């Protein structure tokens, strides 16, 4: 076989391998997450319930502004049931715990009060040494929520209001 032909076949093989690796990436799905709920209670009652839930869950509050209805929590670790980070045959899979940044927004809306849970999740992807790279691959990637944490907070706030 001629040298030029060998180089050309090697290049096409490399292109096919890259295409296969890209095709094997599954990005995180966007799940149908209920992140907001309205409660038939005053702003003050809901705000108190939000603080009570945070205290019961030992959440570390970074910012607490009643006037704006904003509570920002320090980053929280989440398990696999709460996040979707997709997958990649070439890179590997994301490994938990996942870093979640979370805030809650409380708003008076007529005779009811709504709470919205906002969540942003990142994961550390870890790939093992292989023929493609000589060192462990570590890469931060965005993930999506499956709605587990949002539902847990909104349910707990409802339970706290029922107990007031």
Tens digit of pLDDT for each residue in 13-62?
555 555 444 445 667 778 899 999 999 999 999 999 999 999 999 999 99
> Percent of the chain at pLDDT above 70?
67
Average pLDDT over residues 6-10: 62
Strand 93-109 to 112-127 pairing:
antiparallel
Q: What is the CATH number of the domain that holds 78?
A: 3.30.530.50
The dihedral formed by the CA atoms of 12, 13, 14 and 20, expressed in degrees to the nearest 10? 110
Question: Per-residue pLDDT for 149 more than 80?
Answer: yes
**Is the residue at 15 inside a domain?**
no
**Is the residue at 17 inside a domain?**
no
**Is the residue at 10 inside a domain?**
no
**Residue 143: per-residue pLDDT:** 83
Secondary structure of 75-131 in the HEC alphabet?
EEEECHHHEECCEECCCEEEEEEEEEEEEEEEEEECCEEEEEEEEEEEEEEEECCCC
- Provide the number of structural domains found in the chain: 1
**Residue 138: per-residue pLDDT:** 56
Q: Greater confidence, 87 or 148?
A: 148
Which of 74, 91, 90 lies closest to 139, judged by CA? Answer: 91
**Is the residue at 30 inside a domain?**
yes
**Residue 120: per-residue pLDDT:** 87
**Residue 40: per-residue pLDDT:** 97
- Range among 29-33, 71-75, 104-108 with highest mean pLDDT value: 104-108
**Is the residue at 156 inside a domain?**
yes
**Residue 135: per-residue pLDDT:** 47
Q: Which tokens hold the place of 139?
A: 């890469």
**Is the residue at 153 inside a domain?**
yes
Q: Name the average pLDDT for the chain.
A: 79
Average pLDDT over residues 128-144: 56
The span from the first CA to the last CA of the chain, in angstroms, equals 83
């Amino acid at each position: 076989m001629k040298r030029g032909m060998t180089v050309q076949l090697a290049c096409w093989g490399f292109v096919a391998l890259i295409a296969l690796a890209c095709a094997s990436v599954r990005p995180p799905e966007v799940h149908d997450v209920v992140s907001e709920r309205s409660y038939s209670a005053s702003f003050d009652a809901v705000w108190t319930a939000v603080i009570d839930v945070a205290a019961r869950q030992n959440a570390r509050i970074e910012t607490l502004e009643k006037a704006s209805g904003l509570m920002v929590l320090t980053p929280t670790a989440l398990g696999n049931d709460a996040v979707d980070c997709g997958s990649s045959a070439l890179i590997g899979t994301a490994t938990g715990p996942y870093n979640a940044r979370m805030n809650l927004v409380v708003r008076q809306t007529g005779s009811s009060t709504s709470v919205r849970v906002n969540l942003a999740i990142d994961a550390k992807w870890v790939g093992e040494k292989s023929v493609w790279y000589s060192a462990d691959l570590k890469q931060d990637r965005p993930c999506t929520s499956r709605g587990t944490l949002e539902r847990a907070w909104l349910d707990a706030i409802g339970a706290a209001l029922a107990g007031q």
